[in-house]
Amino acid sequence: MGRSVRSHQPVETPSGLVPGGAGTRPVRQALARATQTLAAARLDPDVPLGDVQYALRSKPRIGLHGGPGGDGLTNVVGYGDPSATGEPVPDPGERMVTGSDLRRGGYPVDNGSSWLMTVDFTGESPRAWVMLTYGETGDRQSDLFDVQTQRFSDKDWRQAAFTEEAIAADPDLTEITVSST
C-alpha cells in the first residue's frame, strides 16, 4: 500500500500565512506595530529604502541600499557608535524603537561594507569590478569627500584592471620601485 507524499515547492515557499493559523496573530501584531512605528517616524510604509536610509556623513543626504547582516544581507550597512570614527558626525536624533536604527525621517548609516569586489571567471580571462563605498578622505572640505558614497548609492561599479595588458593601458598608471636599501 503506497502513501501520499506532499510535493515540495521551494520556488513558491513561503507563499503566505495559513488563514487562521497559529502564527497569524503574532505576524499581524508585528505588522501593525511596524506600521505604527513608521507613522511615528513620519514615513509611508511603501517609501523606497533609498529615500529613507542614508549616509550620515553626507550633506545633502545620499540614499543607500543594504541593511543589517542579521537579515541575511551581504551588503551590510548600519548605524554604530559615533565615537568609532574620527570624523565629525551629525546627531541622527533619538531612536524610534529600542533595538532599531530608525530615527524620525529615516535610517542613518555610518558603517558597513567598505570595499566590494566581484569577479567573473566564465570568460577567457577573469573580469573584475570594484567599488569603494564611503570615500577616499575624511576631509569634509575635499571635493572627494562623498564621491565614492554617491557611486556606491548609484551602484556605479568600476571595472578593475585585472590583466597585465589592462594595467599597462591605464592612463593613470604610476610605477614606484620600493627597495630595502
Half-sphere exposure of 105 (CA within 13 A, CB side): 11
Residue 86 in any domain: the answer is yes
Domains contained in the chain, number: 1
Residue 27 in any domain: the answer is no
* More confident: 157 or 105: 157
The phi, psi pair for 153, rounded to 5°, reads: -60, -40
Structural domain of residue 152, as residue ranges?
49-169
Instruction: Give me the pLDDT at residue 83, please.
Output: 65
Residue 66 in any domain: the answer is yes
Residue 9 in any domain: the answer is no
Is residue 79 very low, low, confident or very high in pLDDT (cuts 50, 70, 90)? confident
Q: What does pTM read for this prediction?
A: 0.70
Instruction: Give me the pLDDT at residue 163, please.
Output: 80
Residue 140 in any domain: the answer is yes
pLDDT digits (tens, 9 = 90+) for 4-24: 555 667 677 666 666 666 667
Q: Are 92 and 103 in contact (CB under 8 A)?
A: yes
Residue 43 in any domain: the answer is no
* Mean pLDDT lowest among 40-54, 70-84, 133-147: 70-84
Q: Dihedral of CA 131/149/154/51: which sign? A: positive
Question: What gap in Å lies between CA 67 and CA 109, rounded to an integer?
Answer: 9
Record the cell numbers describing residue 177, joined without a space: 620601485
Residue 4 in any domain: the answer is no
pLDDT at 49 over 80: yes
pLDDT at 165 over 60: yes
Q: What does the mean pLDDT of the chain come to?
A: 82
Q: Dihedral of CA 124/125/130/136: which sign? A: negative
Residue 146 in any domain: the answer is yes
Question: What gap in Å lies between CA 31 and CA 17, rounded to an integer?
Answer: 13
Q: Are 52 and 43 in contact (CB under 8 A)?
A: yes
* More confident: 87 or 165: 165
